[in-house]
A and B are shown apart, each in its own frame.
Chain A
Amino acid sequence: DVKVTQSSRYLVKRTGEKVFLECVQDMDHENMFWYRQDPGLGLRLIYFSYDVKMKEKGDIPEGYSVSREKKERFSLILESASTNQTSMYLCASSRPPGSDQPQHFGDGTRLSIL
């Protein structure tokens, strides 16, 4: 089974801090994604990466950056955390188009910015 592991289930940080959310997948997937999930808004794509050191902006990239130094690891970075970034963050991975494999999700990191 595909395993997408997010390093923290719950995280509490302060306004202005630099925050790192880590995600690791064990299936050698090329694509990796970061979403945030808010009530009534569903899942919104922040950034995705289709290869090491490659990244593309999703629908809501403002205030975030990402890093993909190794194929299995995709990090989401909040450069200067703000209260409106309090949310559930979900990481996902998949093979590229044509490979007949869906996106697999981790169990999420619930981030609170105080």
Chain B
Amino acid sequence: GENVEQHPSTLSVQEGDSAVIKCTYSDSASNYFPWYKQELGKGPQLIIDIRSNVGEKKDQRIAVTLNKTAKHFSLHITETQPEDSAVYFCAASISFGNEKLTFGTGTRLTIIP
């Protein structure tokens, strides 16, 4: 089955700097890659996603890049703000919203004011 590895497990960034979280996946059939943000006491919320026919997608300060050949994808947050502090999860699946999303182990991002 699919295996998703996520790094780093913790990340501290000065406010205003950029943060990058990286994930690799094992199943070349995977074609959908969402990123979720989980704030304290809340469930994960989708912040951005990308499909395999696209190499990059941007939404304001957040961007995701995908390299299908290398089987890795990354989350980039620019101009970080204190409210970006949270746990971030990457995931992969072989079809959009399908029965099996395989998640990475999470990255705890702390923004230092």
Q: Are B103 and A97 in contact (CB under 8 A)?
A: no
Contacts of A106 in B (CB 8 A): 43
Known A-B contacts A41-B105, A42-B6, A42-B106; A58 and B100 likewise in contact (beta carbons under 8 Å) = yes
Segment among A43-51, A65-73, A75-83 that sits at the interface with chain B: A43-51
A103 and B97 contact, CB distance less than 8 A? yes
In the complex, B9 has a CB within 8 A of chain A: yes
- B26 CB–A CB distance under 8 Å: no
Q: Is B61 an interface residue (CB 8 A)?
A: no
What is the distance, in angstroms, from B43's C-beta to the closest C-beta of chain A? 3
Cα-based distance from A33 to B43 in the complex (angstroms): 13
A-B contact pairs, 23 of them (CB 8 A): A31-B99, A35-B103, A40-B105, A42-B4, A42-B6, A42-B106, A43-B89, A43-B101, A44-B103, A45-B100, A45-B102, A59-B1, A92-B43, A96-B98, A97-B97, A102-B34, A102-B97, A103-B34, A103-B46, A103-B97, A103-B101, A105-B44, A107-B41
A92 to chain B: which residues have CB within 8 Å? 43
**Range of interface residues on chain B?**
20 to 34
Q: Counting CB contacts under 8 A, is A56 at the interface?
A: yes
Using CB atoms and an 8 Å cutoff, list the residues of chain A in contact with chain B: 4, 31, 33, 35, 40-45, 48, 50, 56, 58-59, 90, 92, 94-108
* Residue in A40, A48, A95 whose CB lies within 8 Å of B99: A48
Query: In the complex, what distance in Å separates the CA atom of A101 from the CA atom of B32?
Result: 12
Q: Is the CB of B103 within 8 A of A40?
A: no
Do B99 and A100 have beta carbons less than 8 Å apart?
no
Q: How far is the CA of A53 from the CA of B78 in the complex (A)?
A: 45
Among candidates B49, B89, B96, B99, residue contacting A42 with C-beta atoms closer than 8 Å: B89
A100 contacts B100, CB within 8 Å? no
Nearest CB on B from A31, distance (A)? 7
Q: Smallest Cβ distance from B88 to chain A, in angstroms?
A: 11
Query: Are A42 and B105 within 8 A (Cβ)?
Result: yes
